[in-house]
Structure 1
């Protein structure tokens, strides 16, 4: 009987170590989210702020340091609609198109229409730009 308890204890410890190792491995594979910031000086229109912010965001994903499944070959900002403006920030929607580096890219998920030429057209987001932070 003691031998069975001992063996079950060893198996339990072994399984616990396997679960711990799997959890630790998953925590290291989390993707870092790029959150650009821009400095706005003077009287700048909200649409220009939104466009500058979005261009910086998309251009980051065209860099060679970005993992291939997240990388873009090209992008296009189709439309920006300012929904609300205040001294603290702006709320806006954006319609955009992206051409990922690979066909099974993370960019192909979500809304939009996938075209045969590798572009994903008419994707949309509702964003808030407050004090230099994308929310």
Structure 2
């Protein structure tokens, strides 16, 4: 089941044409990923402080399907596709009602204190595969 996060489009999110500026969709999906992880019970701040581990975006494939505009109430969905050794693959989408406006495949990599890829901690892997705490 996909995680759902709502976001309202503010004037500052739009461009000269009055539609959501393309880069802001990346901000919307970033917020949704942060909430997805938090709601699963993973404390990213603690993980960084105690183990030096962070998650970084390695790759994003994005499709801009339809424009969102000022004052739209959007829903961002996040669904786990795969947890590999050091990477996590997600499908994310931005919706206005039943209309999909944006779709992305996001690849995250787990980085250690030296900034190199390390295995996703077993506790994090387990909670992600179980769908949360």
Task: Give the TM-score normalised by the residue count of structure 1.
Answer: 0.37
Flag the structure with higher helix content: 1
Flag the structure with higher strand content: 2
Task: Give the TM-score normalised by the residue count of structure 2.
Answer: 0.37
